[in-house]
Amino acid sequence: MKTLIKHVVIDNQCQDILIIDGKIAKVARGIETPVDDLINAHGATAMPGLIDVHVHFREPGLTYKETIATGSAAAARGGFTTVLAMPNVKPVVDTAEKMKSQVALNAENGLVKVLQYGALSEDLVGVGPADLQAMASAGAAAFSNDGHGVQDAQTMLSAMQAAKAADRVISAHLEDDTLIQGGVMNAGPSADKLGLPGMTGLSESTQLARDLVMAQATGVRYHVAHISTKESVAQVRLAKQMGLNVTAEVSPHHLFLDDSMIITDDPMFKMNPPLRSKEDRQALIGGLLDGTIDMIATDHAPHSPEEKSGSMHDCSFGIVGLETAFPLAYTRFVKSGLVDLETLLTWMVKNPKEAFDLDQAGLLAVGDAADITLVDLVHPYEINPKDFASKGENTPFAGEEVYGKVLKTFVDGQVVYQAKKE
């Protein structure tokens, strides 16, 4: 099967991309050859398919929020071709058997490449690590207890030793439960003004300090999920200077929002970790720019309209992100002139691929998988959750004007998303 995509822009140059049997065969100007499928991109920008190392697809067990089909359709619509799904589904993916069936379910229903995290402990809250080696053999791409911090140090230490032996990354959701105090947003002036219970960043940074000491002792590949405080950024910076095998991700919402923007009790601003202070947000942007933070990951966390209504007091934690991440990041970081597109793609493709050893994800080089996203960087549009392919419409970014609309997404040379004609 041969596909030719004519007239794309790559690094400001007009190019054509020839795909043979799902792989990039040639990238050059003016390719002329007989093909099965000829696509005219009309000057759209071509990028390697984006990678998101942190999504929640809710299947099995919570499919009223999202399914692998709808979640991966949201990924494709957001320009993502490889995602790593968290294990906090029902039942939790915490054994080799559950891993095997989850990997099969992801392959069967995923429109994009859906890789799977295994849990670090039974049901995410158990003491004593799950059998990481068996889950790795059953296809676990990496490990995480996302949704819950690992409270017990010995459990984390044993999990790190097992992950090191299996050569897999541990992605840590950092949260010391004893320091949360029922908080629903960041502790500070905004929480005080709204009369809502606050939580400080100490629950994150204290657990990170514990983990970094053990990461050094074990040599595990340790990844910080949704980093949110300036203290955490400083610790990761130091750990990297000390030569630890550590990486970190930051979510678009922690980069582009902070708690000073929460002026009403609005469930769309409730997520874990919460939006922090302006200073924290600046430290996250600084950390991304200086390489302390390696990548952007969405923490796509769909919930039903009922679960995201009423007060922040009792609604669910989490917002969707797959369909807004690239346009928001492109608009705020590249369009604004802060960084170039290549740098953004380092954070959204190259670094996640390297940190998680994602051999299946392509970088637009000859021989790579033809995972390609075509985007319109010229015409602005408005984010409308009603257009989402995700079941979740829970986003604080509705109504934002952005650039970077995804026009077409290819996985292994197959079109998995195509924007509607306007």
Ligand X SMILES: NC(=O)N[C@@H](CC(=O)O)C(=O)O
* Binding-site ranges for ligand X (CB under 6 A): 56, 88, 146-147, 173, 271-272, 299, 301, 317-318
Annotated catalytic residue 340:
no
Type and span of the H or E element at 98: helix 96-109
Helix/strand/coil (H/E/C) assignment for every residue in 238-274: HHHHCCCCEEEEECHHHHHCCHHHCCCCCHHHCCCCC
| 56 or 281: CB nearest ligand X | 56
Question: Residues 254, 257, 261, CA angle at the centre, nearest 5°?
Answer: 140
Q: How far is the CB of 175 from ligand X (least distance, A)?
A: 8
Largest pairwise CA distance in the chain: 67
Q: How far is the CB of 84 from ligand X (least distance, A)?
A: 12
| 113 or 173: CB nearest ligand X | 173
Encoded tokens for 9: 């822009």
Q: How far is the CB of 360 from Zn ion (least distance, A)?
A: 22
Q: Is 106 annotated as a binding residue?
A: no
CA distances from 306 to 63, 181, 268, 314, 408 (A): 14, 25, 12, 11, 32
The binder of 317, among ligand X, Zn ion, none, by C-beta within 5 to 8 A per type, is ligand X
With a CB cutoff of 8 Å and minimum separation 6, the contacts of 235 are 205, 208, 209, 212
Site string for Zn ion, 351-380 (x = CB under 5 A): ------------------------------
| 52 or 146: CB nearest Zn ion | 146
Helix ranges (DSSP H) in 110-243: 132-137, 153-166, 189-194, 202-218, 230-241
List the interface residues with Zn ion, window 3-32 (CB under 5 A).
none
Question: Strands (DSSP E) along 29-105, which ranges?
Answer: 37-48, 50-55, 80-85
In whole angstroms, give the CA distance from residue 222 to residue 160: 8
Provide the pairing of β-strand 401-402 with 381-382. Answer: antiparallel
| 125 or 415: CB nearest ligand X | 125
318 closest CA partner among 204, 396, 261, 225 = 396
Q: How far is the CB of 66 from ligand X (least distance, A)?
A: 10
Q: Can you tell me which residue has the tokens 């257009």?
A: 387
Q: Is 253 annotated as a binding residue?
A: no
Give the helix, strand, coil percentages of the chain, each rounded to 5. Answer: 30, 25, 45
Q: How far is the CB of 112 from ligand X (least distance, A)?
A: 19
Residue pair 256/206 in contact (Cβ under 8 Å)? The answer is: no
Q: Is 146 annotated as a binding residue?
A: yes
Residue pair 388/65 in contact (Cβ under 8 Å)? The answer is: no
Q: Is 128 annotated as a binding residue?
A: no
Residue pair 118/132 in contact (Cβ under 8 Å)? The answer is: yes
Q: How far is the CB of 263 from Zn ion (least distance, A)?
A: 25
Pick the catalytic residue from 94, 259, 299, 412. Answer: 299
Among 16, 59, 146, 371, contact with Zn ion (rule: CB under 5 A): 146
The binder of 271, among ligand X, Zn ion, none, by C-beta within 5 to 8 A per type, is ligand X
List the interface residues with Zn ion, window 159-198 (CB under 5 A).
173
The binder of 318, among ligand X, Zn ion, none, by C-beta within 5 to 8 A per type, is ligand X
Site string for Zn ion, 283-322 (x = CB under 5 A): ----------------x-----------------------
Instruction: To the nearest 10°, report the CA torsion of 17, 12, 255, 246.
Output: 60
| 59 or 146: CB nearest Zn ion | 146
| 19 or 85: CB nearest ligand X | 85
Q: Is 88 annotated as a binding residue?
A: yes
# chain residues binding Zn ion, by CB under 5 A: 3
Q: How far is the CB of 146 from Zn ion (least distance, A)?
A: 4
Binding site for Zn ion (CB under 5 A): 146, 173, 299
Residue ranges for the binding site for Zn(2+)? 54, 56, 146, 173, 226, 299
- Which residues are annotated as catalytic? 299
Residue ranges for the binding site? 54, 56-58, 88, 146, 173, 226, 272, 299, 303, 317-318
Residue ranges for the binding site for substrate? 56-58, 88, 272, 303, 317-318
